Amino acid sequence: MGNAATITSVPSQADVAARVEAILGPMSLADKIGQLVQIGGADFMPGPKPEDVIRGGGAGSVLWLNDTKKFNELQKIAVEESPSKIPLLFALDVIHGYRTIFPVPLAMAASWDPDTAEQAQAVAAKEARAAGLHWTFGPMLDIARDVRWGRIVEGAGEDPVLGAAMAAAQVRGFQGPYPGAPDHVIACAKHFAGYGAADGGRDYDPVFLPEAQLRNVYFPPFKAAVDAGVGTFMSAYMDLNNVPAAGNPWLLREVLRGEWGFRGFVISDAFAVGNLVIQHFARDNRDAAFRALSAGLDMDMASGAYLENLAGLVEDGTLDEAIIDAAVRPVLTLKVQMGLFEHPYVDEDLLDQVVALPEHRDASRQAAQRSMVLLRNEGGLLPLSKDLKHVAVIGPVADSMEATEGSWMVFGHQPAAVTVLEGIRAKLPDARVDYAPGPEIRRDYPSFFEDFEPGKKKPAQTPEAAEAAFQTAVETAQGADLVIMVLGETDLMAGEAASRGSIDLPGRQEELLKTVVALGKPVVLVLLNGRPLSINWAAEHVPAILEAWEPGTEGGHAVADILFGDANPGGKLPVTFPRSGGHAPLYYARTLTHQPEDHFMYRSRYWDSPTTPLYPFGFGLSYTTFEIGNLKLSASQMKVGESLTVTADVTNTGSVAGDEVVQLYIHQRFGSDSRPMRELKGFERVPLQPGETKTVTFELGPDQLTYWSSSLGQWVQDAAPFDVWVGSDSQATLHAEFEVVA
């Protein structure tokens, strides 16, 4: 069987288009509709067997299947037995790695290094393609400002500029230089749009976002994905301003295709076309199919509504067949670009060779190092000495492969991470490293994902067993010279259907932390988690805190590299850490109130807690120190439409090499609309040797200063005075100003 990953030349757009017309011409209506249907290949799917649907021409794509041999079997049925003989596209959620797992996307954003994200997704794509997959449902580009929302872990955090940079990088990583490039897969920008703003942070709940908020904050990563050439889009599940995203012509036709010129195809989220009925939007499945397709939704993921209803809708004259043709064209285009007509099969021996490549694990370890954020380091407790004789590693996620790899594994993935415990043991081969997990942590309500993964469901620990585990952990800590507490969340505590009301450390973890700290030993806290947690007590009482997120296959090694100084942390928070779940959404780029903090009548917004973040957006420490200065603007005034340059010098003033992420924020003092008190407009991660200085340059012009105005209902660049800050987080104080004049 030929290998799908060997296309030698890139066909021109005109050639592809001609080819597509030649394929489309003789297709029957039923064949065309089949191309708009994606079916589930998993055993849990009800209904007819995938083989039979494919043989009958009822599917153009298959998801929820991760079995190379089976891909070839199904493909053979499609290309030899189905009426149109058109090959299938195999799709799966490859979110942060196929076999070699990388840090979760929120962590990758914390690297503030788009190249790291691009390389990670290129490795993921190479492994996935070798397994026989053509298409991933990533990157997830939803801006998330509500830390209760579980899917915050899948995206790049709260900011549109950082989000857009990560979006484009991931598309390049997945797809390579052009759609169909060997060793790459087609990407899917999801979930369009606004999903991260669900009411109360509850997954799938409705979203109400004004157009200005959508255009200025939630759309930029999606627009960046289109500009980077993303092949497909996925619509979101929820109601957006009372119109479900899967049936929303404004989103899918006007903005995506009309304004942005997207030429790929849009797939629904799973079952979302049929869900239009459950959401009390469509009358029945037929109405749902009609309204979704009319709105610009090309492919139905797993609901069956298209397969059952589109033919009838065309036959009775409700739907013009030209709309079906228009939806089929981009699907066929992708199949042509992927070379599937020439090479429909995958070489079944390839995967083992590809996943064994040592550079994949190296890339994962490096990405994990680069994504970790040092939150506290009182008295320079970190880095630790490798001469330590007796260390205790304590906590329920310290030796958990699942928590280390994090949420959204590919279907059927067997966890294989180096845990933090293993990483520390490997780093200290001669020391005594004791371990105790303490009481288990678990969700109060189980995740539906547990139903899909055999072995996931475990009986709960009894209160007596939990108490015994607590005592053992304290005793284990008592005997050691230094304690490393590894606390946080398990893999299913963040992700889809994993929202929380509180963002405290789950279970008895904080109680255990307090008890261990009270022993009077030096304590380091390592966090493994998929969202910010309200670690208020730790932030005051634990001298060293490392945010390691869900760091992936090499996570344990990477944590140990950082703890023992073989790598210097340089990551920065891509999301604000609030002091409580009740403070969400809390984000830095908000507009001013009439009683800002320096106002004589300023009262804190809550009477029971400070409104300020626990850790601000952009924050992160290093083992070295940096100074940012010499802020210069190329002009103090410019006209609307012109640009100026901002430069600043960054110096490593400490004694070890390290990276500083230099960040530029602006504020427009008045205008057509009130503008956020700060907005990130540029950033650069700069590696510096001790004593070294580099100059960082940013551009400020119409791209950075234009926004969608609620007052005017259009894009505007105002003539107004601006503040500029350059520094190491969103509270930077190094300041300059300029004015834009008419």
Residue 672 beta carbon to ligand BGC: minimum distance, rounded to whole angstroms: 36
Question: Which of 145, 172, 190, 557 forms a contact with ligand BGC (CB under 6 A)?
Answer: 190
Query: In 3-state terms, what secondary structure has residue 686?
Result: strand
Q: Interface residues for ligand BGC in 232-271 (CB under 6 A)?
A: 269-270
Between residues 93 and 158, which has the closer beta carbon with respect to ligand BGC? 93
Q: Judged by CB, which is closer to ligand BGC: 98, or 707?
A: 98
* CA–CA dist 495, 96 (Å, integer): 13
What CA–CA distance (Å, rounded) separates 399 from 202?
30
Rounded to an integer, what distance in angstroms lies between the CA atom of residue 436 and that of residue 441? 14
Site map 363..402 versus ligand BGC, x via CB under 6 A: ----------------------------------------
Tell which positions 104-133 bind ligand BGC, by CB under 6 A.
Answer: none
What is the chain's length? Answer: 742
Cα–Cα dist 624/652, whole Å? 7
Q: Which one, 5 or 270, has the nearer CB to ligand BGC?
A: 270
Q: Nearest 5 degrees, angle CA 714-CA 718-CA 723? A: 130
Q: How far is the CB of 214 from ligand BGC (least distance, A)?
A: 19
Between 450 and 566, name the residue whose CB sits nearer to ligand BGC. 450
Render the burial of 170-192: b for 16+ CB within 10 Å, e for the rest: bbbbbbbeebbbebbbbbbbbbb
Give CA–CA dist 20/28, Å, rounded. Answer: 15
The catalytic position among 142, 269, 491, 659 is 269
Is residue 142 part of the contact set for ligand BGC (CB under 6 A)?
A: no
Residue 35 CB partners (closer than 8 Å, separation 6+): 60, 84, 86, 328, 331, 332
* Pattern 682-721, ligand BGC, x by CB under 6 A: ----------------------------------------
- Write down the least CB distance from residue 450 to ligand BGC, Å: 15
**Phi and psi, residue 384, nearest 5°:** -80, 155
Considering the complex, what minimum distance in angstroms separates the CB of residue 301 from ligand BGC?
Answer: 7
Site string for ligand BGC, 540-559 (x = CB under 6 A): --------------------
- Kindly report the backbone phi and psi dihedral angles of residue 644, in degrees, each rounded to the nearest multiple of 5, phi listed first: -135, 170
Closest by Cα among 49, 64, 50 to 452: 64
Structure token pair of residue 328: 């089929």
Q: Is position 93 an interface residue for ligand BGC (rule: CB under 6 A)? A: yes
Q: Total number of residues binding ligand BGC (CB under 6 A)?
A: 7
Q: Looking at the DSSP assignment, which residues form a beta bridge with residue 61?
A: 38, 89
- Contact yes or no for 186/222 (Cβ under 8 A): no
Q: What's the closest the beta carbon of residue 6 comes to ligand BGC, in angstroms?
A: 28
Residue 137: CB minimum distance to ligand BGC, A: 3
User: Structure tokens of 307?
Assistant: 């397969």
Closest CB to ligand BGC among residues 153, 562? 153
**Should residue 291 be labelled a site residue for ligand BGC when binding is judged by CB under 6 A?**
no
For ligand BGC, the closer CB: 175 or 652: 175
For position 137 contacting ligand BGC by CB under 6 A, the verdict is yes
Nearest 5°: phi and psi at 357? -65, 120
What six digits make up the tokens of 113? 């290094």
> To the nearest whole angstrom, how small is the minimum distance from the Cβ of residue 296 to ligand BGC?
19
Q: What is the dihedral of CA 735, 736, 740, 741, to 10 degrees?
A: 130
CA 594 to chain centre: 35
CA distance 556 to 549: 11
Burial of 134 (0-12, 13-18, 19+ CB in 10 A): buried
Q: Give the separation between CA 679 and CA 354, rounded to whole angstroms.
A: 42
Query: Nearest Cα to 199, choosing from 148, 158, 248?
Result: 148
Q: How far is the CB of 269 from ligand BGC (least distance, A)?
A: 5
Position with the least CB separation from ligand BGC: 137
Compare residues 453 and 699 and give the one whose CB is closer to ligand BGC. 453
Burial of residue 349 (number of CB atoms within 10 Å: 0-12, 13-18, 19+): exposed
Contact between 167 and 221 (Cβ < 8 Å): yes
Binding residues among 50-69 for ligand BGC as defined by CB under 6 A: 63
CB of 195 to ligand BGC, least distance (A): 8
Nearer to ligand BGC, 184 or 190 (CB): 190
718 is annotated as an active-site residue: no
Listed in sequence order, the DSSP H helices in 206-270 are: 211-213, 220-227, 249
Nearer to ligand BGC, 496 or 550 (CB): 496
**SS3 of residue 115 by DSSP:** helix
Nearer to ligand BGC among residue 93 and residue 718 (C-beta): 93
Residue 496 in the binding site for ligand BGC (CB under 6 A): yes
Based on CB atoms, which residue is closest to ligand BGC, 113 or 269? Answer: 269
Residue ranges of alpha helices (H) inside 25-82 are: 29-35, 50-55, 68-76
- Distance separating alpha carbons of residues 323 and 321, to the nearest angstrom: 5
Query: Quick check: 311 and 317 in contact, CB under 8 A?
Result: no
Which x/- pattern, by CB under 6 A, does the window 149-188 give for ligand BGC? ----------------------------------------
In the region spanning residues 264 to 283, those forming contacts with ligand BGC, defined by CB under 6 A, are: 269-270
Closest CA to 678 of 621, 636, 735: 735
Q: Which of 312, 340, 314 is nearest to 327 (CA)?
A: 314
Site of interaction with ligand BGC (CB under 6 A): 63, 93, 137, 190, 269-270, 496
What are the residue numbers of the active site?
269
